[in-house]
Amino acid sequence: MPATGPPRAPHERMNRPKLGVFKFASCDGCQLSILNLEDDLLAVSETLDIAYFPEASSDMREGPYDIALVEGSITTPEDLHRIVSVRERAKVLMTIGACATAGGIQALRNWSDVEAFKQAVYPSPQYIQSLSTSTPISEHVRVDFELWGCPIEKTQLMRVLIDLFAGVQPKLPTHSLCLDCKRRGMVCVLVTKGEPCMGPVTRTGCGVICPSLGRDCYGCFGPSEGAPQGEAFPPNTSSLATQFHHGLQLIPAEVLRRFRGINGYVAPFRKESQTWESRIEETTP
């Protein structure tokens, strides 16, 4: 991938690219991943002008920003407007994490009655302003780059920022976690322990942490993309779901829950869970 310009040197203080970090509905975990850069945090702040990052600094400037990092999903009427304003002020808009990229865990509401949710949680639900859905940023504005993970992996974030400011189109691996698990010589938790591991359909990037701790992957990096067929080719979720059902004896409700989790609203996982939902409905008298 050719670079469109030379990387900026850290000492070019006058022209440091401006960074803004914005938060919508989320747990703050991806922003914390930035602060968890620890060894590199001060170097990053020398290289970039952190112009807006309320979680870390009271110094907040309106923009425009060379890059806006957006955490969180859209869940309130007010945030529908705010994301448009962020987009207008950002040259490059990058989502960080499962909420901003896929709607997040709070997208579980998308299959439910939010009015009933309000009544379950609040004594006076009429005071609560909330949309009936939790949706990813890309459903509302143009997104230039999406960084997956719940939470994001901080070394991936660094990689992408370095590429962006070097004028290189960022590119991160999209293949399945399974391949990296094999490369590391891990014992397969699906085959040997019979656990419903989402590794075969989940994007690599976390560092294979669940199988390395002896448990099944639960898909927090979202769907992988098929390597032989190229980018944006969805993973074979139906094959894995069938294996869960016939091989591991999971009942349809369990298969459904497997796909309806942290990244449940993203298309490949959403379609698979809906397939199993209709199966349950067909068999329910």
* Residue pair 63/92 in contact by the 8 Å Cβ criterion: no
Which of helix, strand or coil describes residue 20? strand
State the minimum distance, in angstroms, from the CB of residue 238 to another protein. Answer: 22
Q: In Å, how far are 225, 237, 259 from 267, measured between CA atoms?
A: 12, 11, 11
Q: Is residue 124 near another protein by the rule CB under 8 A?
A: yes
Residues shown for the chain: 285
φ, ψ at 243 (rounded to 5°): -65, -40
* Residue pair 89/68 in contact by the 8 Å Cβ criterion: yes
> Please, which of residues 34-73 interact with another protein by CB under 8 A?
35-36, 38-39, 41-42, 45, 50, 53-60, 72
C-alpha 145 chain-centroid distance: 11
Query: HSE-up of 17 (CA within 13 Å, CB side)?
Result: 20
State the minimum distance, in angstroms, from the CB of residue 175 to another protein. Answer: 20
Beta partners for 67?
Answer: 19, 92
Only one residue has tokens 């992988």, namely 224
Residue in 104, 222, 223, 252 binding another protein, rule: CB under 8 A: 104
Q: In angstroms, rounded to a whole number, what is the distance separating the alpha carbons of residues 181 and 224? A: 14
Q: In angstroms, rounded to a whole number, what is the distance separating the alpha carbons of residues 256 and 42? A: 44
Number of residues that bind another protein (CB under 8 A): 68
State the minimum distance, in angstroms, from the CB of residue 2 to another protein. Answer: 33
Sheet containing strand 65-71, edge to edge, reads 49-52, 18-23, 65-71, 90-96, 145-147
State which residue, 196 or 234, has the beta carbon closest to another protein.
Answer: 196
Residue in 105, 147, 161, 181 binding another protein, rule: CB under 8 A: 105
State the minimum distance, in angstroms, from the CB of residue 63 to another protein. Answer: 13
Residue in 19, 30, 70, 266 binding another protein, rule: CB under 8 A: 30
> Please, which of residues 158-177 interact with another protein by CB under 8 A?
none
State which residue, 189 or 225, has the beta carbon closest to another protein.
Answer: 189
State the minimum distance, in angstroms, from the CB of residue 7 to another protein. Answer: 21
State which residue, 154 or 234, has the beta carbon closest to another protein.
Answer: 154
State which residue, 33 or 176, has the beta carbon closest to another protein.
Answer: 33
Positions touching another protein (CB under 8 A) are 23-33, 35-36, 38-39, 41-42, 45, 50, 53-60, 72, 75-76, 78-79, 82, 104-106, 108-109, 112, 114, 116-118, 120-124, 127-128, 130, 134, 150-151, 206-207, 209-210, 212-215, 218, 220, 254, 257, 261-262
